[in-house]
Amino acid sequence: MRLSRITLPLLLIVLASSVALPQSASTAADRRSIEQLNHELDDAILHMSNERVLALWADDGVTLLPGMAPVEGKKNITEFMQKVVAGMPGFHVTEQQTDIRNIEVSGDWAAEWGLTHQIATPPDGKAPIDSRGKIMLILHRESDGHWKIKQEMWNTDAKP
């Protein structure tokens, strides 16, 4: 059977569009899930809840912090975060905002970057610490379908 000049291109268009539509719907759903993860992360930081922050991390996650060796694995990230909070008794995060500027999704992987703003208020009426910076996250959809932080890198902006 010979396909006509019109039938073959139409068939290819129909096949291509039927494959592309579910992927677009999936990508939109993925973006919503990732935006929810970002909201949960900001809220957990605002409430200084290490448990909630760590729940968003993959077991084999890595954080790349300025001026430090990589912190590899959820266990080591947990220990690091506990030390940070222990070194800040009486502090309260009064503002935590992340303005994600770009999310790219490819299958079970996603990358995003954004601008951050955090204000931490020390005890005893001392001046608040106002910090702004940039963040990049690499996310992975785990076997349970949830997006988790696989890699994190951030830095702070220079003071004006």
User: pTM value?
Assistant: 0.82
Residue 1 lies in a domain: no
| Cβ-Cβ contacts under 8 Å for 31 (sequence gap 6 or more) | 103, 105
Sign of CA dihedral 101, 80, 141, 29: negative
Residue 2 lies in a domain: no
CA pair distance 91, 117, nearest whole angstrom = 16
How are beta strands 71-72 and 92-106 bridged, if at all? unpaired
Amino acid found at 84: V
CATH number at residue 87: 3.10.450.50
Show pLDDT as tens, one digit a residue, over the chain (160 residues).
454 555 555 544 544 444 444 445 678 999 999 999 999 999 999 999 999 999 999 999 999 999 999 999 999 999 999 999 999 999 999 999 999 999 999 999 999 999 999 999 999 889 999 999 999 999 999 999 999 999 999 999 988 7
CA pair distance 151, 58, nearest whole angstrom = 9
Q: Distance of CA 102 to CAs 46, 112, 113, 137, Å?
A: 22, 5, 6, 11
Amino acid found at 40: E
Our count of domains for the chain comes to 1
Q: Which range marks the domain in which residue 130 is found?
A: 7-156
Residue 110 lies in a domain: yes
